[in-house]
Amino acid sequence: MIKPVILMGSGGHAKVLAAMLKKLDCPVLGVTGPALAEGGEVFGFPVLGGDNAIANFPPDRIELVNGLGSLPRDQGLRQRLFEQFHARGYAFKTLVDPTAMLAGDVVLGEGVQVMAGVIIQAGTQIANNVIVNSGAIIEHDCSIGCHNHIAPGAVLCGAVITGDNVHIGSGAVVIQGCSLGAGCIVGAGSVLTTSIAGRHIVYPPRSIIKNLERD
């Protein structure tokens, strides 16, 4: 039986997810968010109120959709929302847009969101609460850590390994075999050709690498 969902958030990322949920004919009970008061509609769904309204629904009867987006310096916000409600027994729904192309052996963790036009190739594993955004390409045998954001149009060229809370920006390219430690940021349009330790940032035009702890 397909469980109904509650969409958490009313911003841009939540808007895209709302459109996906409609395409998937997924039953939606309503939308919650810190700035929302009960009543009315958002994205054509009822507004249930703040996130505390979720407590009115037993964890075994519903699933949640994490509608909070992820920018390079605030991945932790999305992670905290996921972990807070997961600790209360709620599960997050994994979503795959109908236009995405996934190999048959791809493994997706809880709450992963695969957006329109994505390609994920054979042997890839993606951990919990990851966004693979519109038009991104993840080639064969990649391993993606929890709470990553693979932004629109990014390309991982094969056997790429990422730690938790990695952000790979729009149009960035990570060459095959590279490893990225936890908390790394690959800036939009960068080309990463070497592995980097955790908490480093890569940015164009010459793909300079800096340590986030020092800079």
pLDDT in tens, 130-155: 999 999 999 999 999 999 999 999 99
The per-residue pLDDT for 135 is 98
Average of pLDDT values for 34-56? 95
Residue 167 lies in a domain: yes
129 and 72 both lie in a single domain: no
Q: Which of 13, 86, 140, 147 is catalytic?
A: 140
The per-residue pLDDT for 172 is 97
pLDDT in tens, 95-104: 999 999 999 9
For the cut 70, the answer to whether the pLDDT of residue 215 exceeds it is no
Residue 117 lies in a domain: yes
140 is catalytic: yes
Residue 209 lies in a domain: no
Residue 208 lies in a domain: no
Lookup: tokens for 5? 């969902």
Average of pLDDT values for 57-64? 98
105 and 139 both lie in a single domain: yes
76 and 109 both lie in a single domain: no
For the cut 80, the answer to whether the pLDDT of residue 1 exceeds it is no
Residue 177 lies in a domain: yes
Burial code (b: 16+ CB inside 10 Å, e: under 16) for 72-85 equals beebeebbebbeeb
pLDDT in tens, 14-25: 999 999 999 999
CA distance 70 to 108: 18
The per-residue pLDDT for 209 is 85
107 and 182 both lie in a single domain: yes
133 and 181 both lie in a single domain: yes
Report how many domains make up the chain: 2
Residue 79 lies in a domain: yes
Quote the mean pLDDT of the chain.
95
What CATH number is given to the structural domain containing 51? 3.40.50.20
The per-residue pLDDT for 145 is 98
Average of pLDDT values for 188-203? 94
Domain span including residue 22? 5-86
What CATH number is given to the structural domain containing 184? 2.160.10.10
For the cut 70, the answer to whether the pLDDT of residue 73 exceeds it is no
The domain boundary, picked from 86, 107, 138, lies at 86
The partner residues of 46 in beta bridges, in order of sequence, read: 41
127 and 57 both lie in a single domain: no
65 and 120 both lie in a single domain: no
15 and 70 both lie in a single domain: yes
Average of pLDDT values for 84-94? 98
CA distance 61 to 77: 25
Average of pLDDT values for 160-182? 97
Instruction: Return the minimum-mean-pLDDT range out of 20-29, 57-66, 68-77, 118-127.
Output: 68-77
Residue 185 lies in a domain: yes
